[in-house]
Structure 1
């Protein structure tokens, strides 16, 4: 018998410095309930304003380095920002976070995230010093 169900949990990711990081396994290992859903969605929401979540290529690590470089060109730390009380990288981190966004929704099919062959969930960390990041994870759908 299948029934609609919702599971919600907050997960704290390990501390990382500035960059783009694949976090799919880190998240799914803490969400074993995914395997019990035949169809549904996983919503991920980062509770921070200087980091973001995105889905991007997982095959070539140069992609993540290029993304970091692109974001630094779009929003340079060298600009003179008014908001700088928490460091020169803080306001650029807020702007970059706003460009990418705080949330993702990923389909679940037959107990697995239905990502494309070359796709993975990535944390975009925009601060230079390591920060812990909390993700609110909400699974909803048909439980097998």
Structure 2
């Protein structure tokens, strides 16, 4: 059993849902070294999220952004607003979606379904650089 761990950076984005599968895979070429295993992607932030979802229709990402805004809207009802009106709603959305995902590795590739991709959801209006810790575990290819 082999382990690999590294921290990668996602580019600064404004509020929205972004498909980042190819970007992540390009920063983690070590995935190709695994015959079978598991990849964990953990975002080190509390106002953004990672999820696995639709990778084809961009309307799904726009709809997700809109739905999360309805669930946790910006307003003045929150006690925590140190960084502005989008501060607490961003924390709520991050908790609802989650900051980590696990994806199986099969023969050197992420074993996602046909229509699945890794999304980076940014919940803040101001652009932030986001760090993701990637941990790979599994059996190496021979």
Q: Which TM-score band applies after superposition, normalised by the shorter structure?
A: over 0.9
> Residue 29 of structure 1 aligns to a residue in which SS?
helix
Segments of 5+ residues of structure 2 without an aligned counterpart are none
Match of 2:53 in 1: 56
- The residue correspondences of 1:94-109 to structure 2 (distance < 5 A) are 94-109=91-106
- For 1:1-144, list aligned pairs within 5 A: 4-144=1-141
Cα distance in 1, alignment partners of residues 56 and 75 from structure 2: 31
Spell out structure 1 runs of 4+ moving beyond 2 A: none
Aligned Cα RMSD in Å?
0.7
TM-score (norm: length of structure 2): 0.97
Q: Secondary structure at the match of 2:63?
A: helix
Report the CA distance between 1:85 and its aligned residue. Answer: 1.1
**What CA distance in whole angstroms lies between the structure 1 residues aligned with 2:4 and 2:140?**
10
TM-score by length of 1: 0.96
Matched residues in 2 for 1:122 and 1:44: separation?
11
Unaligned runs of 5+ in 1: none
